[in-house]
Each structure stands twice: as C-alpha cells, then as structure tokens.
Amino acid sequence: MRRAMAWLLGGVAALVVVTLAGGFYLTAFALRPAVERSEQHYIDSFNEHYPDLQPWFGALCAEGKVQQTTIRAEDGTLLHAYYIAADTLSTRTALLVHGYTDHPFGMLQYGWIYREKLGCNLLLPALRYHGKSEGSHIQMGWLDRLDVKGWIAEADRLFGAGQQLIVHGLSMGGATVMMLSGEEDLPASVRCIVEDCGYTSVWEQFRKELKEDYHLSSFPILHMARFIARWRFGWDFKEASALEAVRKAKLPMLFIHGGNDHYVPTRMVDPLYEAKVQGEREKWISPDAGHADAFIDHPEEYTQQVVSFCEKHL
C-alpha cells in the first residue's frame, strides 16, 4: 500500500512539474519570442513582396516624409510609431496595426491604399515588444488596444485638429482593433474599423495551435500557461476576446479573411461577423488566400473593398 501511494504521489508530482514546465515554456515561446527589430530587414521584406510599391516607398523616404514619434503609455512604457502626412493637408488618418512578431513597415502595402486612394495621413505604431517600442512581452492585442487608444489621441497633434480615423489591423493587429472596438469611450474621431484575419480570442488561437500544429491537448498545459500569464503579465488568455468585444462594437466594421487561411482559420471570421449586431458590418473572403495574403493575392479587389467601405464613413 505504501509503495502504491509513493508511486501515486510521485506520478502526481511529476505531472505537476511537467505541466508547470510546459506552461512556462508555452508562455515564453508565445509571448517572448525572438523578434527581428531591424528597420532594414522589413524594408527589404516589403520590397521583395511588393516590388511594384518599392518606388512609392523609396520616394517617400527620399523626400523625408517618413517621420518618427513616440508616446508614453500610462504605465510609463515608451511606444514608437512612424507617420507619413498626406501630400495635401488632410483630415483623414489611417492608423495601421501590424501583426504578431511583425513591424510597422509590414503594413505599408495597406498604407499605399489609404494614402494614394483615400488621401489619408498614415500612422503606423509598433506594438509593445516590437520595433522600437518597449515592452516585456507580446500582449496579443488585449492590452495593446489601450495603447492604440493613445495613438488615436495623438493623431490630431501630428496631422492637425479634426482628424477622422480609420483603424485597420492585420492578424494579431486585426484582433487588436476588434478588441478596441468594444471600448465604450472611443473618441468620435474613429469612423470605422477594418480587421483582416484576426482571431476570435487568444485562448482559442492558442488552443487551435496546440491541437492542429503540435497535436497536444489544451489541458493541462494551456491552463497552466494561462495562470502563469496572469501571474507574470497581469492579463488572461480567455479575457482577451475579440469575439466578446465585437458584441459591444457600434462602429462600422469590415471583416476580411483569406479563404484558405489555416493559421488563423477562415472559420473564425463567421462568429466574429455574426457577433457584430450593432452598427454596419461587411465581410469579404479573399478567394483561396492564405494567412495575411488577401492583398498580395488579390490586390485590386482588396483595394476596391477597402476604399468602397471606408468612403461611406469618412
């Protein structure tokens, strides 16, 4: 009996240790990965993927139109952004939010749409732990929504009073702008939101990756990682829900997703779209596009969808 009890206690202790180690590993792997921060790396990547837009961005750089600015979040964290004024004085600003382990320059292709087709100023912030922004970890959009509110307030200072904002996010940035959409105190300057391939919640995205990419159950490792994230970083994977935020959203919203997205599965866009019961909503599924590839695969249609939607609300 004693031997059996010892084996049982040993097994439980081993399970706890493995679960704890797995939770710490998952938290570090997902929230504190190695992130490339070099500007040139992302300029080279942009030029490689969008060679037709290389002369456009090169001219903006050569003419000194790509400027930089910073703000401090309420907790003192220094946040960095690039901004580009429109060619003529404009009261339209597109605030573009990048994806997971990406960089503000990863949003330049969308910046071309807004600047050249809609006459917008551009504001491209780096989320915490990305680019030149400070931060201890990746917040997966949840606390980032509060930082984006800070950048919204900054638009009038950068470009002049009376700005009308479009907020557009890609992937994790798409989740960020959806999480932002549920805030009750959004300023009236925000006129509409465009989300591209954002996930329903951090919990569901992590659970999907464990199951489909690593063939692991969410229990108990993800539950442990959730506890560790709450303890170390002060936020909860389940609380970080774009789906719940969208239920409260009143601003017009365009949902975009690739029809062949396996990373943030295409199936996630339907419950998000259906949850948007207040205010105008539109949805476009880019045929056969993979994750974050809707523009690169169908640039003309993507541009048409975005311009048509935004013009209604500016």
- Residue 273 contacts by C-beta under 8 Å, 6 or more apart in sequence? 255, 281, 283
pLDDT: is 38 or 294 the higher one? 294
Would you say residue 1 has pLDDT above 80? no
* pLDDT at res. 215: 82
Percent of the chain predicted with pLDDT > 90: 87
E strands in the chain: 67-72, 78-84, 92-97, 121-125, 164-170, 190-196, 253-258, 281-286
Comparing 26-30, 91-95, 118-122, 154-158, the range with the smallest average pLDDT is 26-30
The DSSP-derived string for 263-287 is TTTGGGHHHHHHH--SS-EEEEEET
Q: Look at the block and give the residue holding tokens 């580009």.
A: 84
> Across the beta sheet with 78-84, what order do the strands follow?
67-72, 78-84, 121-125, 92-97, 164-170, 190-196, 253-258, 281-286
Percent of the chain predicted with pLDDT > 70: 93
* pLDDT at res. 222: 94
d(CA 302, CA 92): 20
Would you say residue 16 has pLDDT above 50? no
Question: How does pLDDT run across 261-278, given as a tens digit for each residue?
Answer: 999 999 999 999 999 999
**149 C-beta neighbours (distance < 10 Å), count:** 17
Question: How does pLDDT run across 198-241, given as a tens digit for each residue?
Answer: 999 999 999 999 999 888 888 899 999 999 999 999 999 999 99
| Rounded average pLDDT over 167-189 | 97
End-to-end alpha-carbon separation of the chain, Å?
76
* pLDDT at res. 148: 98
Question: How does pLDDT run across 58-100, given as a tens digit for each residue?
Answer: 999 999 999 999 999 999 999 999 999 999 999 999 999 999 9
* pLDDT at res. 19: 62
* pLDDT at res. 10: 43
* pLDDT at res. 12: 35
d(CA 147, CA 141): 10
Q: What does the angle CA 99 – CA 61 – CA 293 come to, to the nearest 5 degrees?
A: 30
Would you say residue 314 has pLDDT above 60? yes
* pLDDT at res. 17: 45
d(CA 145, CA 142): 6
Confirm if 108 and 57 have CB atoms less than 8 A apart. yes
Q: Sketch the domain layout of the chain as residue ranges.
A: 34-201+240-311
Write out the CATH class of domain 34-201+240-311: alpha beta
Would you say residue 9 has pLDDT above 90? no
**235 C-beta neighbours (distance < 10 Å), count:** 16
The answer to whether the peptide bond before residue 220 is cis (omega within 30 degrees of 0) is yes
* pLDDT at res. 21: 67
* pLDDT at res. 14: 40
